[in-house]
Amino acid sequence: MLANEPHNGSPPGITLALGGGGARGLAHAGVLRLLSEHGITVKGVVGTSIGAEIGAFYGAGLGSERIEAMAREIDWMATVKFFLPTLDSGGLTSGGNITAYLRSYLGEATFGDCRPPLRAIATNMQNGQEVVLSEGSLVDAVRASVALPGIISPHSIGGALLGDGGLVNPLAVDVAREVFGGPVVAVAVHPGAQEADEDGESEPFRDPLEEQESPALMENLRRAVQITQAQLVRYRLAASPPDLLLKPVVPNMGVLEFYRGNEAFEAGVREAQASLAQLRALASI
């Protein structure tokens, strides 16, 4: 349920809407590092999928430097461990290793512990409704929000079976503005966020890792979801545009290529640096 929190007269600072996009979402960590270095206040974060994960780490107090180290530390073997197949769980993997990874950093932290406050977007897999998570365990919320269909099994919270928030709201600018107020800075990292002529990525939905390791059925399912999400983001941004849209460029990075975290992180830093003057101006409103 969407929390109706007043934000009239809200303090200076920006609200972040951090989008989904798998491994590319490690660029969010680079954006946070740049904001921290320049003293730009973040008064609230709304995250979808990987955006919810990075937002939870940030809100739980890990700090931009620690999150940077985490993004850079993920190697090939860690990536493989995250997605070890189980095949009997409603997805390629049950997500058990992902849950263990989240708990090793978040422990028993809850939404109430988050500074800045956080909201995480998930999808009710039983009725298709958007779910804005605002209370309870951060581990459970993130685990639900990252449950990419066909890859990671859905996660149950309070009797509801929840899946990836990107199915309904891949970049939740509308929720960010309603809950925390503006100005809203959105960070779009999903495949298709960049046009081909912007970054030379002629096949934005191609995932090199999955093409090597996954059956054609899984690859086609993943591409279908990503194409749908890209179109959904365009429609939602037209209806509820952010005050500033950042689009870190990570060419031809697969959704599961978390071992390329260093590239994604640096892309986030570059994109935020290029918009630093605008970020400063928005933070002072």
d(CA 144, CA 121): 9
* Closest listed residue to residue 35, CA positions, set 72, 70, 68, 74: 68
Contact 253, 25 (CB under 8 A): no
Residues in the chain: 285
Active site residues: 49, 164
Classify residue 255 by burial, with Cβ atoms within 10 Å: 0-12, 13-18, 19+.
buried
User: Taking each helix axis from N to C terminus, what angle separates 64-73 and 27-37, rounded to the nearest 10 degrees?
Assistant: 150
Give 3-state DSSP helix, strand, coil % of the chain, rounded to 5.
Answer: 45, 15, 35
Count of CB atoms situated within 10 Å of the CB of 247: 18
Residue 62 vs residues 66, 104, 113: alpha-carbon distances, Å: 6, 12, 12
Task: Collapse the DSSP code of 97 into the 3-class scheme (helix H, G, I; strand E, B; otherwise coil) and give the result.
Answer: helix
d(CA 109, CA 143): 14
* Closest listed residue to residue 222, CA positions, set 89, 92, 132, 120: 92
Contact 19, 51 (CB under 8 A): yes
